[in-house]
């Protein structure tokens, strides 16, 4: 449900293009023209060199389906476009001005009622004695019928997924599964839905937003990404522990066989490693394994017993704030000769 009751300038123009395209298609379904003039927009004309024109392939498929001839107007001939620009201004002033709506469906319903009512009952710009409705009824007898299977009105855009699992479409970011980062995907969008596809596979579905700068996320995508990050951090911690104390690998294997919480055991062993050092932790883990107790508490007790036998006082862990740790950081001294390199050869 769209909460905003007004559209910005960019969103208004985007909606006008989408709605006019769908409304014209509905009208032409009953009575299409044989020839339709187009400006040289990229969605119709990909390339043009004088009379040589290369049309958009999707656009040509559309014209073949509805059996009409597309005819681009001459370049820099605004008079050949008729009243297109004036119609857009009429829609903005007569329809959008001070209008409120709840969502895109409500807006479309109001627009269709307005087109069938007020817009059709206005005086025809080229014949002030008749209305637009009367002129259209006369012209409809000379137009062609259309097939009953109109093609879906979809926008198709190739998108590149960057380092983050989002695709940019229509000035908004839509989430995709994290497994698709750094890949090319295709977006298909209609008035209500945005589908992100990898070939024929749908990888994400989102409700379409007409605002700009929004980040639309699927909860499942974020959940799986979070789980993947947690798993990656766990493997990193395990690798660091095993590298410092190789016996920890056997302890974790035996703990897993007994249903132990590997994440908690690994975290506690890393804390013991920081407090007692690698050599002491390795020996304590071996002792815990020899006793058949693969658990971090057994390792901690072995470490404390070994200190007691040496006559050393037990360690007391004190968690210091980050800013205190930063002040206590040891900065190694550098050879003053290293700074001579900053002066350059000319100043030596």
Closest CA to 121 of 81, 94, 93, 141: 94
**Are 204 and 276 members of one domain?**
no
Domain end, chosen from 217, 246, 270, is at: 217
**Sign of the CA dihedral with 97 first, then 102, 107, and 112 last:** negative
Its pTM stands at 0.49
**Are 202 and 293 members of one domain?**
no
Helices 278-290 and 262-276: crossing angle in degrees, nearest 10, is 130
Does residue 204 belong to any structural domain of this protein?
yes
Does residue 348 belong to any structural domain of this protein?
no
Does residue 165 belong to any structural domain of this protein?
yes
Does residue 205 belong to any structural domain of this protein?
yes
What is the structure's pLDDT at 37? 82
Q: DSSP string covering 5-63, please?
A: SS--HHHHHHHHHHHHHHHHHHHHHHS--SEEEE---TTTEEEEETTEEEE-HHHHHHH
**Are 161 and 47 members of one domain?**
no
Angle, alpha carbons 133-21-113 (nearest 5°): 45
Domain that holds residue 211: 155-217
**Are 208 and 239 members of one domain?**
no
**Are 298 and 246 members of one domain?**
yes
**Are 15 and 135 members of one domain?**
yes
What is the structure's pLDDT at 227? 79
**Are 129 and 30 members of one domain?**
yes
Does residue 301 belong to any structural domain of this protein?
yes
**Are 179 and 290 members of one domain?**
no
**Are 209 and 320 members of one domain?**
no
**Are 208 and 227 members of one domain?**
no
| Number of domains present in the structure of the chain | 3
Domain end, chosen from 140, 165, 200, is at: 140
Helix (H) or strand (E) holding 314: none
Per-residue pLDDT of the chain (348 residues; tens, 9 = 90+): 333 444 454 455 555 554 444 444 343 344 467 888 888 888 889 998 888 899 988 888 888 888 888 888 887 766 666 666 677 788 888 898 888 888 878 888 898 899 889 989 999 888 889 998 998 888 888 887 777 787 777 888 999 999 889 999 999 999 999 889 999 999 999 888 999 999 999 999 999 988 888 999 998 998 888 877 776 666 677 888 888 889 988 998 888 888 888 888 888 898 888 888 889 999 999 999 999 999 999 999 999 988 888 888 777 666 667 777 677 676 777 777 777 777 665 554
**Are 200 and 226 members of one domain?**
no
What is the structure's pLDDT at 234? 62
Does residue 96 belong to any structural domain of this protein?
yes
Beta bridge partners of 189: 155, 194
CA distance 63 to 33: 11
Does residue 343 belong to any structural domain of this protein?
no
Does residue 41 belong to any structural domain of this protein?
yes
What is the structure's pLDDT at 78? 65
**Are 262 and 173 members of one domain?**
no
Domain end, chosen from 168, 195, 217, is at: 217
């Amino acid at each position: 449900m769209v909460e905003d009751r007004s559209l910005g300038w960019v969103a208004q123009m985007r909606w006008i293009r989408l709605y006019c395209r769908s409304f014209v298609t509905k009208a032409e379904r009953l009575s299409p023209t044989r020839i339709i003039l187009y400006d040289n927009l990229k969605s119709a004309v990909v390339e043009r060199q004088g009379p040589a024109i290369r049309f958009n392939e999707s656009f040509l498929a559309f014209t073949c389906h509805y059996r009409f001839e597309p005819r681009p107007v001459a370049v820099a001939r605004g008079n050949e476009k008729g009243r297109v620009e004036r119609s857009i201004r009429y829609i903005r002033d007569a329809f959008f001005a001070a209008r409120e709506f709840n969502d895109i469906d409500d807006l479309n319903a109001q627009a269709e009622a307005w087109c069938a009512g007020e817009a059709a009952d206005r005086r025809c710009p080229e014949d002030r004695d008749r209305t637009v409705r009367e002129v259209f009824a006369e012209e409809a007898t000379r137009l062609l019928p259309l097939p009953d299977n109109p093609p879906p009105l979809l926008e198709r855009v190739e998108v590149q997924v960057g380092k983050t699992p989002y695709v940019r479409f229509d000035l908004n970011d839509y989430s995709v599964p994290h497994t698709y980062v750094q890949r090319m995907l295709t977006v298909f969008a209609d008035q209500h839905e945005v589908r992100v596809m990898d070939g024929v596979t749908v990888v994400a579905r989102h409700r379409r937003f007409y605002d700009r700068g929004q980040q639309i996320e699927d909860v499942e995508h974020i959940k799986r990404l979070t789980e993947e990050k947690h798993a990656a951090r766990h493997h990193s911690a395990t690798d660091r522990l095993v590298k410092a104390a190789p016996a920890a690998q056997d302890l974790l294997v035996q703990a897993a066989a007994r249903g132990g919480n590997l994440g908690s055991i690994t975290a506690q062993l890393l804390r013991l490693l920081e407090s007692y050092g690698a050599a002491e932790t390795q020996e304590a883990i071996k002792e815990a394994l020899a006793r058949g107790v693969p658990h971090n508490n057994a390792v901690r007790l072995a470490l404390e017993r070994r200190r007691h036998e040496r006559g050393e006082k037990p360690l007391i862990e004190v968690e210091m704030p980050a800013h205190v740790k930063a002040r206590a950081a040891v900065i190694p001294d550098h050879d003053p000769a290293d700074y001579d390199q900053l002066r350059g050869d000319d100043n030596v």
